[in-house]
Structure 1
């Protein structure tokens, strides 16, 4: 199995980085080939330019990095996004990845009858979003309405026609004990060590 991880956090010492290491270790135990798209280290530009938008509409990408990401996504059995929740949503770089890389003609197409979208990543078995935040889960759920679930899973991947969509959210990260943070890492490594 080939798992693409789309990672976005600029700070090496972040809990997201610790999650990335634990998830990668688990996947390797399960004999997955891990392909890391580290958006920060790759210097990914999230801004959609006029030329990018024309390429998007024409289904002919021009940015070599976007083209490279497309080729790697086509080989993915699983995609995992790892990023922090900032101001209740994903960071700008992750949003830019959605805008610029999850393109028609590669990731989805418009239905020939004119209604709905058709998924094009034929190998893809699942999409998992892993996030961290400093709010309590109940507050994010009741007051904010779980925007990541709505934006990333329902509005993006479910609309495109993909199934087996999952969201793992680590809440109140700065406030919980170090013991709990370590347990979360152990648990998530174990989870992905059992992936098929």
Structure 2
């Protein structure tokens, strides 16, 4: 199975090691997922948005091309080719102001181009979109936050899943959607963080070679356990 992991953190994947002032728990989680999936024999492709210098801004030229089912940015075209080749998609990012960083939102805006990854069905009753990513069997979101998980789900009404699942991939028609949230990061001890990273590695080592992975459940939203390295 081909796993595409999209990392969105300014420190890049190079910050996965626990080096003071040069570390990111988000990057450590992404690295653990890569280790686990690789150990299971999957092919893992990593898009490191910050390392690539990806711009989240939809320019006028981008929007004109988007409406025509085309792209003007070679990096966006490269991301689309890699996305279309993926069997499972993973996002890893910190939660800032209760939502994803700009890079992830820009990935949705600029990479998910009409006519490339989805098609519109004019006059359709119900969902007006058709999925053009037949290989993509599931999406996993790995989010890192300082907000308590219960507060995020019940007070803020988990905007992440509304945007990424209900408003994007679920709308397109991708199933097996899983959210794994690492909450209250700053309060975790080094041992607690290590256990969380071990659990993440095991989670991705358990991915089956079928579409979406063995651990993914059917339905519009399958939530992982609430988990949570100092700093996002």
Bigger drift between 84-93 and 140-149 goes to: 140-149
CA–CA separation in structure 1 for the residues paired with 2:138 and 2:2: 11
Take 2:103 and 2:156, find their aligned partners in 1: how far apart are those partners? 21
Number of the residue aligned with 2:206: 194
Separation of aligned partners in 2, 1:72 and 1:144: 33
Q: 1:158 aligns with which of 167, 170, 194?
A: 170
2:81 to 52, 60, 71: 71
The partner residue of 1:139 within 126, 138, 151 is 151
Q: Deviations over 1:139-186 (max 9, x none)?
A: 111211111011111111101111000100000011122211111100
In the aligned structure 2, how far is the partner of 1:195 from the partner of 1:33? 12
Moved more, 171-180 or 78-87: 171-180
Aligned-pair CA distance for 1:114: 3.7
Which residue of 1 is the match for residue 8 of structure 2? 8
Name the structure, 1 or 2, with higher relative contact order (CA <8 Å, separation 6+): 1
Q: Distance in 1 between matches of 2:153 and 2:84?
A: 33
CA deviation vs aligned residue, 1:49-105 (integer Å, no higher than 9, x gap): 000000000101111011111111111000000000000000011111110001111
Instruction: Write out aligned runs for 1:37-186 (5 A).
Output: 37-115=47-125, 116-186=128-198
Identify unmatched segments of 5+ residues in structure 1: none
RMSD between aligned residues: 1.0
Are 2:70 and 2:113, in contact at CA under 8 Å, matched by a contact in 1? no
Structure 1 runs of 4+ with >4 Å offset: none
The separation in 1 between residues aligned to 2:191 and 2:204, in whole angstroms, is 20
**Per-residue deviation at 1:112?**
5.0
Q: What TM-score do you get using the length of structure 1 for normalisation?
A: 0.97
Query: What is the alpha-carbon distance in structure 2 between the residues aligned to residue 59 and residue 40 of structure 1?
Result: 25
